[in-house]
Amino acid sequence: MKKNWKHKAYAIASALTVGAMMMGGVGQAFAKTNVVKHSVKHASGPVVHLQETGSTLLWPLFQLWVPVYKHVNSKVDLTTAGTGSGVGISQASDGTVQIGASDAYMSNRLLSQHPGMLNIPMAISAQQIMYNIPGVKKGVHLHLTGNVIAQIYLGKIRYWNAPQIQSLNKGVKLPHWMIVPIHRTDGSGDTFLFTQFMTDTNAAWSNSVQYGTSVSWPAIKGALGANGNNGVVALASKTPGSIAYVGISWLNNGLSEGLGEAALQNRAGRYLLPNPGTIAAAANMMIGKTPADERTSLIYAPGANSYPIINYEYAIINEKQANPATATAVKNLLLWAISPQGGNKAVFMDKVHFLPLPASIAPLSRKQIAKIHG
């Protein structure tokens, strides 16, 4: 009997070891077959793995791009991840990924620490303010100003029927419901855009919180944090009384989850929703001041028809890539992405409510892309 279990134990032990070895090996073998498969299809050169991470605002667009780009260039395997613009910036600078996606451009100081980093606009995007207020009918767009939103996020306005909000919305019956401000926990380009807008519209904000991809949020009881635009939408939809800033590629998702969308007061005093017309109007006012390195804010544009929160969607790239093959793959992908016949096509842009890169800006981006080398 005793011998029996010993044998059994041995059998199991060795079977497991062999099994583990095989399983470990299988992964490698699969990788091999994939490589072989692709290289058969395209006789020249091996498959290049590219890693994209960052902005959750840009991520839905990448999700649309990936399957299409597979047909454009089957030799590139592209992994995308919506992790927040902060991750996009830091991991691209670190060299742990090739492509960082960000709604925010890099700061001067960070750029001087990583001098080879490029901030390449690929499209124009916007951000809307969304809310979940019990009793407010669907389709009603609350009027909000940057100043009022700032006071909400500063904890100065705590209830939805506060006079400051009610006076902007005469026809709407607002409930006496506690406001739950939702912010992003991850380093976020959306936070960057939102806090820039707050800084432009509220003096107290510009003196205290200021702007950045991650800021120190004023202490408000019950205020919540969430990870990514996806997390924000999910949390806002299950939190009555909440208000949140959401990237426009998540607008459809937010609306279908039952969130309301605010009409924001622009610099000219008009209340507007983000749509191709108001985003383009704002872009027209702002893009003229785009410098050669393309790092510029498009927030709070002048003009009667300008929506106040728009921005460039950046690819954050190190101009020195690991090897020439990777550099070429990154270049080709970016050139395709900003091309009106490629990634900037209306079929992609319309789904995420982005605007294609303006014709006057595309040459600047192409010039930066040309700097990428192996």
**Binding to another protein in span 164-203, by CB under 8 A:** 178, 180, 183, 185-188
Three-state secondary structure call for residue 291: coil
Instruction: Give how many residues touch another protein by CB under 8 A.
Output: 83
> Per CB under 8 A, which region of 94-102, 138-146, 166-174, 340-348 contacts another protein?
94-102
Interface with another protein in residues 7-36 (CB under 8 A): 8-10, 12-13, 16, 20-21, 23-24, 26-28, 30-32, 34
By CB under 8 A, residue 324 contacts another protein: no
> Per CB under 8 A, which region of 227-235, 283-291, 339-347, 360-368 contacts another protein?
227-235
By CB under 8 A, residue 211 contacts another protein: yes
Are residues 228 and 56 in contact, defined by beta-carbon separation less than 8 angstroms? yes
By CB under 8 A, residue 147 contacts another protein: no
By CB under 8 A, residue 343 contacts another protein: no
> Per CB under 8 A, which region of 165-173, 230-238, 331-339, 345-353 contacts another protein?
230-238
Instruction: In whole angstroms, give the CA distance from residue 190 to residue 195.
Output: 8
Instruction: In whole angstroms, give the CA distance from residue 318 to residue 336.
Output: 18
> Per CB under 8 A, which region of 101-109, 306-314, 327-335, 351-359 contacts another protein?
101-109
Minimum Å distance from CB 234 to another protein? 6
- Cα atoms in the 13 Å half-sphere on the side-chain side of 302: 2
By CB under 8 A, residue 216 contacts another protein: yes
**DSSP secondary structure letters along 146-202:** HHHHHHHHTTS--BTT-HHHHTT-TTS-----B-EEEEESS--HHHHHHHHHHHHH-
Cβ nearer to another protein, comparing 13 with 72:
13
Minimum Å distance from CB 164 to another protein? 22
Among 39, 161, 164, 230, binds another protein (CB under 8 A): 230
In this structure, the chain runs to a length of 374
User: Which residues contact residue 22 at a Cβ distance below 8 angstroms, ignoring those fewer than 6 apart?
Assistant: none
Burial code (b: 16+ CB inside 10 Å, e: under 16) for 270-290 equals bbbebeeebbbbbbebbbeeb
Cβ nearer to another protein, comparing 46 with 277:
46
Whole-angstrom CA distances from 69 to 49, 59, 174, 189, 349 are 13, 15, 47, 25, 15
Instruction: In whole angstroms, give the CA distance from residue 349 to residue 337.
Output: 11
Tokens 């432009």 locate to: 200
> Per CB under 8 A, which region of 116-124, 229-237, 259-267, 276-284 contacts another protein?
229-237
By CB under 8 A, residue 90 contacts another protein: yes
Cβ nearer to another protein, comparing 178 with 304:
178
Interface with another protein in residues 53-72 (CB under 8 A): 63, 66-67
* Among the listed residues 254, 262, 273, 243, the one whose alpha carbon sits nearest the alpha carbon of residue 133: 243
Minimum Å distance from CB 273 to another protein? 21
Instruction: In whole angstroms, give the CA distance from residue 145 to residue 158.
Output: 16
Cβ nearer to another protein, comparing 20 with 72:
20
By CB under 8 A, residue 77 contacts another protein: yes
